[in-house]
Structure 1
């Protein structure tokens, strides 16, 4: 019984920390996705002229420099969510939640490495990188983003939503949004450009919900 009492206090101390970390993560990830979509357009006028947009390249460099902090914020977001859920979590979904989140961060960092390498090659090539190299890097970048990174995000979203729904931690609109976003990231994301933004939008919604929630017992 004492253990149960200790656990009942812990979940109420973490939502605000999770909310702040989630907001930071959502903003930084959304900025990175927008920068990648602008700098590496789907159908550029010419494969050798995409690098001419100096402002877009500078914005992407800033976004990539901030991306490690987005990963740190996401890990904090995961840890705080697990603390908020507490010992009530289903072990199966908790394992999927943890695995999906960690694979998402690993794939996100790999994506950042590829994009940064492409920018470095563009800086070293006065006339721009060869068309074959651009096509390869473009395909590699968006395959990592849509096929792998966002599908790991879908696993994380669906497992988190399922846990929140089963434990009555999320309201109906939030778990409905979670299942919708998870389906988009699994099925639609490779076909519809910019649909990757559904994930930071969901993370922002969860974070705002946590920030707005009042801790039990009249805490602040």
Structure 2
């Protein structure tokens, strides 16, 4: 390739500024997913499964929204990395990406378990409720969301906030506030129902800060140096 030929990553694959809207889309979708689930599925993991015999339309809609929620979150992560550019640190980048992937994996897996329970119930209603399979699946989905996903979300927030403090990725007040919100999720998810909902609030705030900032460093800046 001659020097006169344009660079693939520097010219053709520039991240659109609209990618910052992905965080807003993710927040709205995650609110919708958790809200729809709460309309049908009781918060108590020891509940005996009466909701399976009722209308599960809201749960089905929530499950179909999860893939779009995951894609929007990946775009949000990509927008953050593009904003960092050459300032990205390898250590924090590894934890940042790893926690993001784990968060999505557990979100997908938890809703896959819920979907499997619904299908198994319609196949053999009495057999499922009277067996330990239902209680195992219900407890598994509950633990994934309220324990592991919540803790991973807190790690993602702590890592992102640390990066933001040193690189000014976001306003300082928002970066420091991320530590307090992460602590609330880390220690409160097992005691307060719905504490995980502060996570999409934080993502929404970070996305709004990125959109307001007209002096974001383009990803191509680091490549031209």
TM over 0.5: yes
Change (3 A) 1:31 1:128: farther
Q: Which runs of 5+ in 1 are unaligned?
A: 1-8
Once residues 200 and 158 of structure 1 are traced to their aligned partners in structure 2, the CA distance between those partners, rounded to angstroms, is 14
**Structure 2 counterpart of 1:123:** 122
RMSD: 2.7
* Structure 2 counterpart SS, 1:78: helix
- Number of the residue aligned with 1:67: 66
Structure 1 position 31 matched with structure 2 position 50: no
Q: Distance in 1 between matches of 2:144 and 2:133?
A: 16
The separation in 2 between residues aligned to 1:46 and 1:108, in whole angstroms, is: 21
Larger Rg: 2
Which residue of structure 1 lines up, in the alignment, with residue 186 of structure 2?
186
Q: TM-score, normalised by structure 2?
A: 0.81
Task: Report if aligned partners of 1:64, 1:116 keep a CA contact under 8 Å in 2.
Answer: yes
- Number of positions where the alignment pairs a residue of Structure 1 with one of Structure 2: 206
Superposition pairs for residues 166-181 of structure 1, below 5 Å? 166-181=166-181
The 1-side partners of 2:110 and 2:91 are apart by 28
Query: Could you list the runs of 5+ residues in structure 2 that have no partner in the other structure?
Result: 1-9, 218-225
Q: Which residue of 2 aligns with 1:204?
A: 204
Moved more, 18-27 or 34-43: 34-43
Distance 1:97 1:45, change over 3 A: closer
Partner residue in 2 for 1:50 = 51
In structure 2, distance between residues paired with 1:16 and 1:195:
31
- The answer (yes or no) to whether the contact 2:83–2:169 under 8 Å persists in 1 is no
Partner of 1:6: none
CA deviation vs aligned residue, 1:43-87 (integer Å, no higher than 9, x gap) = 489614222441xx2112111112111111111111111010111
Between 45-54 and 25-34, the greater mean CA deviation after superposition: 45-54
